Protein backbone atom coordinates (compact mmCIF):
# COMPACT_ATOMS: atom_id res chain seq x y z
CA UNK A 1 0.00 0.00 0.00
CA UNK A 2 1.44 3.38 -0.99
CA UNK A 3 1.93 5.97 1.73
CA UNK A 4 0.64 9.52 1.54
CA UNK A 5 4.03 10.58 2.91
CA UNK A 6 7.38 10.76 1.18
CA UNK A 7 9.64 11.06 4.22
CA UNK A 8 9.61 9.96 7.87
CA UNK A 9 11.75 12.20 10.07
CA UNK A 10 12.64 11.05 13.58
CA UNK A 11 13.76 12.91 16.64
CA UNK A 12 16.75 11.04 18.09
CA UNK A 13 16.94 11.27 21.87
CA UNK A 14 14.00 9.62 23.59
CA UNK A 15 12.46 8.62 20.26
CA UNK A 16 15.03 6.34 18.64
CA UNK A 17 17.53 6.21 21.53
CA UNK A 18 16.81 5.60 25.22
CA UNK A 19 18.12 8.67 27.06
CA UNK A 20 18.08 6.80 30.38
CA UNK A 21 20.23 3.91 29.15
CA UNK A 22 23.50 5.58 30.18
CA UNK A 23 22.55 5.85 33.84
CA UNK A 24 20.96 2.39 33.78
CA UNK A 25 24.29 0.97 32.61
CA UNK A 26 26.09 2.48 35.61
CA UNK A 27 23.30 2.52 38.19
CA UNK A 28 25.31 0.39 40.61
CA UNK A 29 28.10 2.95 40.74
CA UNK A 30 25.66 5.83 41.26
CA UNK A 31 23.61 4.26 44.02
CA UNK A 32 20.03 4.66 45.18
CA UNK A 33 19.55 8.04 43.49
CA UNK A 34 20.30 6.73 39.99
CA UNK A 35 16.78 7.26 38.64
CA UNK A 36 16.65 10.78 40.04
CA UNK A 37 20.04 11.58 38.51
CA UNK A 38 18.88 10.36 35.11
CA UNK A 39 15.65 12.33 35.17
CA UNK A 40 17.36 15.56 36.25
CA UNK A 41 20.14 15.08 33.70
CA UNK A 42 17.57 14.91 30.93
CA UNK A 43 15.49 17.79 32.29
CA UNK A 44 18.47 20.12 32.60
CA UNK A 45 19.83 19.11 29.19
CA UNK A 46 16.57 20.25 27.57
CA UNK A 47 16.21 23.32 29.80
CA UNK A 48 19.61 24.56 28.70
CA UNK A 49 18.68 24.29 25.01
CA UNK A 50 15.67 26.52 25.53
CA UNK A 51 17.33 29.08 27.81
CA UNK A 52 20.43 29.44 25.64
CA UNK A 53 18.29 29.86 22.54
CA UNK A 54 16.23 32.57 24.19
CA UNK A 55 19.39 34.32 25.40
CA UNK A 56 21.13 34.05 22.05
CA UNK A 57 24.04 32.24 23.71
CA UNK A 58 24.37 29.02 21.73
CA UNK A 59 26.51 26.12 22.89
CA UNK A 60 26.42 22.72 21.25
CA UNK A 61 24.39 19.82 22.62
CA UNK A 62 27.42 17.90 23.85
CA UNK A 63 28.47 20.88 25.97
CA UNK A 64 24.97 21.13 27.40
CA UNK A 65 24.85 17.39 28.03
CA UNK A 66 28.06 17.63 30.08
CA UNK A 67 26.86 20.68 32.00
CA UNK A 68 23.52 19.05 32.75
CA UNK A 69 25.20 15.90 34.05
CA UNK A 70 27.40 17.92 36.39
CA UNK A 71 24.34 19.62 37.88
CA UNK A 72 22.48 16.32 38.23
CA UNK A 73 25.39 14.65 40.00
CA UNK A 74 25.97 17.60 42.31
CA UNK A 75 22.28 17.94 43.14
CA UNK A 76 22.14 14.32 44.25
CA UNK A 77 25.56 14.33 45.96
CA UNK A 78 27.11 11.78 43.61
CA UNK A 79 30.90 11.89 43.32
CA UNK A 80 31.46 12.71 39.68
CA UNK A 81 35.09 11.61 39.81
CA UNK A 82 34.05 7.99 39.97
CA UNK A 83 31.36 7.87 37.30
CA UNK A 84 31.21 11.04 35.15
CA UNK A 85 33.48 9.85 32.34
CA UNK A 86 31.74 6.48 32.14
CA UNK A 87 28.30 8.10 31.95
CA UNK A 88 29.35 10.46 29.18
CA UNK A 89 30.92 7.61 27.23
CA UNK A 90 27.70 5.61 27.60
CA UNK A 91 25.67 8.59 26.38
CA UNK A 92 27.59 8.56 23.10
CA UNK A 93 26.30 5.02 22.43
CA UNK A 94 22.80 5.01 23.91
CA UNK A 95 20.71 1.92 23.26
CA UNK A 96 18.15 2.16 20.49
CA UNK A 97 14.67 0.98 21.38
CA UNK A 98 14.26 -2.64 20.25
CA UNK A 99 11.67 -1.94 17.55
CA UNK A 100 13.76 0.71 15.78
CA UNK A 101 15.65 -1.41 13.17
CA UNK A 102 12.50 -3.26 12.13
CA UNK A 103 10.45 -0.08 11.82
CA UNK A 104 13.07 1.66 9.69
CA UNK A 105 13.38 -1.43 7.51
CA UNK A 106 9.61 -1.58 6.88
CA UNK A 107 9.40 2.11 6.03
CA UNK A 108 12.23 1.94 3.53
CA UNK A 109 10.81 -1.22 1.99
CA UNK A 110 7.62 0.77 1.37
CA UNK A 111 9.63 3.37 -0.56
CA UNK A 112 9.84 6.11 2.08
CA UNK A 113 12.92 8.16 2.88
CA UNK A 114 14.00 8.15 6.53
CA UNK A 115 15.98 10.72 8.49
CA UNK A 116 16.95 11.97 11.92
CA UNK A 117 16.45 15.62 12.89
CA UNK A 118 18.04 16.24 16.26
CA UNK A 119 19.47 18.73 18.71
CA UNK A 120 22.49 16.43 18.92
CA UNK A 121 25.84 17.37 17.43
CA UNK A 122 26.91 15.59 14.25
CA UNK A 123 29.50 13.64 16.25
CA UNK A 124 27.01 12.55 18.90
CA UNK A 125 24.56 11.42 16.27
CA UNK A 126 27.21 9.61 14.27
CA UNK A 127 28.27 7.66 17.37
CA UNK A 128 24.69 6.79 18.36
CA UNK A 129 23.69 5.70 14.86
CA UNK A 130 26.82 3.55 14.55
CA UNK A 131 26.29 1.94 17.96
CA UNK A 132 22.70 1.10 17.02
CA UNK A 133 23.74 -0.29 13.62
CA UNK A 134 21.13 1.74 11.74
CA UNK A 135 23.27 3.94 9.46
CA UNK A 136 22.25 1.99 6.35
CA UNK A 137 18.57 2.52 7.22
CA UNK A 138 18.75 6.33 7.16
CA UNK A 139 18.88 8.68 4.20
CA UNK A 140 20.01 11.68 6.25
CA UNK A 141 21.09 12.61 9.77
CA UNK A 142 20.38 16.29 10.36
CA UNK A 143 21.70 18.35 13.27
CA UNK A 144 20.60 21.76 14.50
CA UNK A 145 24.27 22.71 14.51
CA UNK A 146 23.81 23.65 10.86
CA UNK A 147 21.92 26.72 12.06
CA UNK A 148 22.84 27.01 15.75
CA UNK A 149 19.22 27.15 16.97
CA UNK A 150 17.48 24.48 19.03
CA UNK A 151 14.04 22.96 18.66
CA UNK A 152 11.21 23.91 18.59
CA UNK A 153 12.27 26.90 16.47
CA UNK A 154 10.63 26.60 13.04
CA UNK A 155 14.00 26.98 11.33
CA UNK A 156 15.02 23.59 12.69
CA UNK A 157 12.07 21.76 11.10
CA UNK A 158 12.74 23.58 7.85
CA UNK A 159 16.09 21.75 7.67
CA UNK A 160 14.22 18.52 6.91
CA UNK A 161 11.88 20.08 4.37
CA UNK A 162 14.80 21.72 2.61
CA UNK A 163 16.97 18.60 2.67
CA UNK A 164 14.37 16.49 0.88
CA UNK A 165 12.85 19.23 -1.28
CA UNK A 166 9.27 18.31 -0.36
CA UNK A 167 6.29 20.13 1.10
CA UNK A 168 5.84 20.05 4.88
CA UNK A 169 2.72 17.90 4.55
CA UNK A 170 4.74 15.24 2.75
CA UNK A 171 6.75 14.63 5.93
CA UNK A 172 5.65 12.52 8.88
CA UNK A 173 7.55 13.67 11.95
CA UNK A 174 8.03 11.41 14.97
CA UNK A 175 8.98 12.51 18.47
CA UNK A 176 8.58 11.24 22.01
CA UNK A 177 8.77 14.81 23.31
CA UNK A 178 5.41 16.57 23.46
CA UNK A 179 6.97 20.02 23.00
CA UNK A 180 8.87 18.81 19.92
CA UNK A 181 5.77 17.18 18.49
CA UNK A 182 3.89 20.46 18.98
CA UNK A 183 6.62 22.49 17.31
CA UNK A 184 6.64 20.17 14.31
CA UNK A 185 2.85 20.28 14.04
CA UNK A 186 2.84 24.09 14.09
CA UNK A 187 5.45 24.04 11.33
CA UNK A 188 3.14 21.93 9.18
CA UNK A 189 4.38 18.36 9.48
CA UNK A 190 1.94 15.57 10.19
CA UNK A 191 3.10 14.35 13.56
CA UNK A 192 3.05 11.09 15.46
CA UNK A 193 3.72 11.63 19.15
CA UNK A 194 5.45 8.54 20.55
CA UNK A 195 4.06 8.70 24.07
CA UNK A 196 6.10 5.94 25.70
CA UNK A 197 5.23 6.93 29.25
CA UNK A 198 1.50 7.45 28.81
CA UNK A 199 1.76 11.17 29.63
CA UNK A 200 -1.38 13.32 29.48
CA UNK A 201 -1.95 15.46 26.36
CA UNK A 202 -0.25 18.85 26.17
CA UNK A 203 -0.20 21.77 23.74
CA UNK A 204 -3.81 21.54 22.67
CA UNK A 205 -3.23 24.24 20.06
CA UNK A 206 -0.96 21.85 18.13
CA UNK A 207 -2.32 18.34 18.41
CA UNK A 208 -0.43 15.49 16.76
CA UNK A 209 -2.18 13.48 14.07
CA UNK A 210 -1.73 10.32 16.11
CA UNK A 211 -0.47 9.20 19.51
CA UNK A 212 1.37 5.87 19.66
CA UNK A 213 2.80 4.02 22.69
CA UNK A 214 5.95 3.09 20.75
CA UNK A 215 7.33 3.16 17.24
CA UNK A 216 6.15 -0.39 16.60
CA UNK A 217 2.77 0.73 15.22
CA UNK A 218 4.23 3.51 13.10
CA UNK A 219 4.45 1.67 9.76
CA UNK A 220 0.73 0.84 9.90
CA UNK A 221 -0.11 4.50 10.49
CA UNK A 222 2.23 5.77 7.79
CA UNK A 223 0.95 3.23 5.28
CA UNK A 224 -2.67 4.08 6.01
CA UNK A 225 -3.58 0.87 7.78
CA UNK A 226 -4.22 2.55 11.12
CA UNK A 227 -5.57 5.99 11.99
CA UNK A 228 -5.62 6.20 15.77
CA UNK A 229 -6.89 9.50 17.14
CA UNK A 230 -4.69 11.53 19.51
In the residue annotation, 70 being an active-site residue is answered as no
The C-alpha R_g of the chain, in whole angstroms, comes to 17
Q: Catalytic residue among 11, 18, 170, 180, which?
A: 11
Burial, 100: exposed, middle or buried (Cβ in 10 Å; 0-12, 13-18, 19+)? buried
Cα separation values, 85 from 33, 36, 67, 112, 184, Å = 18, 19, 13, 39, 34
C-alpha 130, offset from chain centre? 16
Element (H, E) at 159: helix 154-164
Q: Cis link prior to 127 (omega < 30° from 0)?
A: no
Catalytic (active-site) positions:
11
Amino acid sequence: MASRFKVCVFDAYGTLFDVHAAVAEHAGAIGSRADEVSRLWRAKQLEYTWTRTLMGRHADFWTLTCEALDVALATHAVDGKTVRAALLDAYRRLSAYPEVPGVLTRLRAAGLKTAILSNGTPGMLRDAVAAAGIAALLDAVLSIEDIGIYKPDARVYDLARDRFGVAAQDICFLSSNAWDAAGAAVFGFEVAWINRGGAPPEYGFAKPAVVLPSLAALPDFVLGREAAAP
